[in-house]
Amino acid sequence: MSSRQDFSSETLPWLDRHIAEIDAYVDQTNTSQLNFDLREKLLHWLRFGYVIFEGAIEHSVIDAYTKNIDVILSGRSDSGVRLRIEGFGVSDARSLPDEAFSVKHLRIMDLHNLSMAGKMMSLHRVATDFLGHIFKDTVVAMQSLTFVHSTEQHSHQDFPYVVSGIPSHLAASWIALEDVHPDAGPLFYMPGSHMVNKFNWGNGLFLTPDSSRDELDFAKYLEQKCLEVGLKRETFCPKKGDILFWHAGLVHGGSQAVQPEMTRKSYVTHYSTKSAYPRDRRAPEAEPVYFEINNGLLYLDPLNPEEENRFTF
């Protein structure tokens, strides 16, 4: 029985009932094993669409992962891990010319499949604990993206691009692999923007080859909607090991780098649930092979199985 003093739930205005529901959920949950205030985090998520856990990721895991990045970006790797690089499209590491690795706007895709350190970050206990309470379902790490420099990406939301079987069953984490300087083009986000009206691409919620509107239309729409309701941009200049989780609808992007040579190494994971994402997007017809850590799941790479866990920890 909770001893918390509060208004009567029977007479609460309807908007405040969301808080009452969170209170009731927390009161009925065993939180003794959590190292964070569950009620505080859930309320922040409800209101702002994101939460931050400072210093959550062990530096030893980050350092191991950074070494894995260095191997892939050395230009001498024989790996089949895929990269998306501006001007080069999507290709595996071993097929790319040397000059591709000097492009600032590159992302390594699903390096967690090769890397035990990546798996440990994607399914870190803070991630599976917190998102498990958000979804009330088994957390599945769908994909990961690794960045060295700012994306300088326009304002966007994730769900039109990263599609789960249930669109609302989507969240993301952003882990700082190093201290991020304000001049390096830090991540930006609009607190509260997860509640703005969704964009119509001309054929619904998702960007497809049949969409009649483009990503610039999307960015302009989101910025206008945020302006209309007074939402302001904040930048994330974290310390190494900090982690930010965001809602599928949170508007965010990459700030322009004042000093383009500066790095802001980061690791992003997109999550869904076992109910909404029962099969891997890379082989949707095949029965997936699971990897489990901290009660969370990810799928082994069906396209590059020989390199699974190539980098041990």
Where along the chain do its domains lie? 41-307
For residues 6-21, give the mean pLDDT: 80
Q: How confident is the model at residue 68 (pLDDT cuts 50, 70, 90)?
A: very high
Question: What are 200-214's pLDDT values in tens digits?
Answer: 999 999 999 999 999
pLDDT for res 5: 67
pLDDT for res 20: 85
Q: Is 5 exposed, middle or buried (0-12, 13-18, 19+ CB in 10 A)?
A: exposed
Question: What are 123-168's pLDDT values in tens digits?
Answer: 999 999 999 999 999 999 999 999 999 999 999 999 999 999 999 9
Between 75 and 304, whose confidence is greater? Answer: 304
For residues 223-235, give the mean pLDDT: 97
Enter the pTM of the model. Answer: 0.95
pLDDT for res 16: 82
In sequence order, which residues have a C-beta less than 8 Å from that of residue 3 and are 6 or more positions away? none
For residues 8-35, give the mean pLDDT: 87
Q: Which CATH architecture has domain 41-307?
A: Sandwich (2.60)
Rounded to 10 deg, the angle between the 38-48 and 125-135 helix axes is 60
What Å distances lie between residue 33 and 38, 130, 265, CA to CA? 11, 12, 31
Q: How confident is the model at residue 4 (pLDDT cuts 50, 70, 90)?
A: low
Whether pLDDT at 7 is above 80:
no
- Token pair of 84 as six digits: 């998306």
pLDDT for res 261: 95
pLDDT for res 75: 82
Question: What are 46-64's pLDDT values in tens digits?
Answer: 999 999 999 999 999 999 9
Question: What are 242-288's pLDDT values in tens digits?
Answer: 999 999 999 999 999 999 999 999 999 999 999 999 999 999 999 99
What percent of the chain has pLDDT above 90? Answer: 92
Q: How confident is the model at residue 3 (pLDDT cuts 50, 70, 90)?
A: low
pLDDT for res 1: 38
As a whole number, the mean pLDDT across the chain is 95
